[in-house]
Amino acid sequence: MTLLDGKKTSEAILQEIAHEVQAIKANGGKVPHLAAVLVGNDGGSVTYVNNKVLACDRIGFGSSLIRYEDTVTEQELLQKIQELNEDDNVDGFIVQLPLPKHINAEKVIESIDPRKDVDGFHPTNVGRMVAGLNAYLPATPAGILQLLQRYDIQTSGKHCVVIGRSNIVGSPMSILMSKAAYPGNATVTLCHRNTNNLAYHTRQADIIISAVGIPGLVTADMVKDGAVVIDVGTTRVQDASRKSGYRLRGDVDFDAVAPKCSFITPVPGGVGPLTIAMLMQNTLRAAKKEVYG
């Protein structure tokens, strides 16, 4: 069994990007710039956004963090997005989700210029991805593709079972794995909360990608010998032995499942660390105008 080390893979990607930024600077080119809009003070969101800004600093990107109280109006937010759309110094930007209930997140996402939508959430980028055109891919599925690729995992002709159909992970993952590309060319089954007999499907899987958020959902009897298991789930569970009072658990019953696998991601340290690296990669692609020209 090989552990898919997301931290190591993420570090390697960030270093590759940092080298490219150095070369851009040496040639007098435009330094990539990422802007992040954060509404409110939710602990998780604040940490995520701070980590994104820190990653920019580390690899030599410019960055700006725009913060609003959670009382900000939708109109104010849309106005800021318009400014960012028009700001030539900003190559890409994100609006950290979730947003407060009084703000229509779909409207906000649709107001982002698709050429700067480095989260890959705008319907134009989603549509381009589905059509097999060049697009910004959402960070988590893109990170999983990187893991599969960098560990040289065969996907062509394999049966891939994706569990979960969210717009940010499960749904795009199922589409990408079915594409005529590597990693891809798999036969894909997409399971979700209405799937009857989940175990029947997962037992046939060469590759399982679980993005649900139920700790221990995938048990050893649901996994065939030699399977590749990618665990996206990250749920906080109470743990009095930790200073924080909690620890993160994936969807997969890791201790029982891991011995059966050819490859498996740990939680934490598997898929999670790759998401920031993929956001940085999208921002670099935006600065180089690789997607829309």
Please count the residues of this chain forming the interface with ligand NAD, following the rule CB under 6 A.
24
Calculate the dihedral angle through the C-alpha atoms of 284, 48, 69, 246, rounding to the nearest 10 degrees: 170
> What are residue 158's phi and psi, to 5 degrees?
-80, 155
Indicate whether 215 belongs to the interface with ligand NAD (CB under 6 A). no
Select the residue interacting with ligand NAD from 235, 256, 262, 269 (CB under 6 A): 235
Q: Is 99 a residue that touches ligand NAD (CB under 6 A)?
A: no
Stretch that binds ligand NAD, among 43-51, 148-156, 227-235, 279-287 (CB under 6 A): 227-235
How far is residue 184's CA from residue 13's CA, in Å, rounded to a whole number?
20
198 vs 287, beta carbon nearer ligand NAD: 198
Closer to ligand NAD by CB, 85 or 195: give it.
195
Nearest distance from C-beta of residue 193 to ligand NAD, angstroms? 4
Work out which of 191, 228, 279, 280 binds ligand NAD, going by CB under 6 A.
Answer: 191
Q: Which is nearer to ligand NAD, 115 or 146 (CB)?
A: 146
Is-contact 233 212, C-beta < 8 A?
yes
Does position 277 interact with ligand NAD (CB under 6 A)? The reply is no
**Of 175, 143, 184, the residue nearest 278 (C-alpha):** 143
Closest C-alpha to 253, from 262, 242, 240, 264: 264
Separation between Cα atoms, residue 199 and residue 205, nearest integer Å: 10
**For ligand NAD, which is the closer residue by CB, 206 or 251?**
251
Minimum gap (Å) between residue 140 Cβ and ligand NAD: 4
- Indicate the residue type of 259: P
CB of 289 to ligand NAD, least distance (A): 27
Task: Please tell me whether residue 201 binds ligand NAD under the rule CB under 6 A.
Answer: no
233 binds ligand NAD (CB under 6 A): yes
Cβ contact 207:161 at 8 Å:
yes
CA-to-CA separations, 43 to 100, 142, 173, in angstroms, rounded? 14, 25, 27
Which of 7, 179, 192, 203 binds ligand NAD (CB under 6 A)? It is: 192
Could you give the angle at which helices 274-287 and 139-150 cross, rounded to 10 degrees? 100
Q: Kindly state whether residue 9 participates in binding ligand NAD, applying the rule CB under 6 A.
A: no
Q: Does 234 bind ligand NAD (CB under 6 A)?
A: yes
* Cβ-proximal residues to 194 (8 Å cutoff; 6+ apart), any chain: none
Task: Identify the residue among 126, 212, 278, 279 touching ligand NAD (CB under 6 A).
Answer: 212
Q: Is 6 in the site for ligand NAD (CB under 6 A)?
A: no
Q: What is the 3-state secondary structure (H, E, C) of 111-145?
A: HCCHHHECCCCCHHHHHHHHCCCCCCCCHHHHHHH
Mapping DSSP to helix (H, G, I), strand (E, B) and coil, where does residue 29 land?
A: coil
CB of 133 to ligand NAD, least distance (A): 23
Structure tokens at 88: 């030539």
Structure tokens at 135: 């697009």
User: From the list 261, 271, 278, 286, which residue makes contact with ligand NAD (rule: CB under 6 A)?
Assistant: 271
Q: Which residues bind ligand NAD (CB under 6 A)?
A: 140, 163-166, 168-170, 191-193, 195, 198, 211-214, 232-235, 271-272, 275
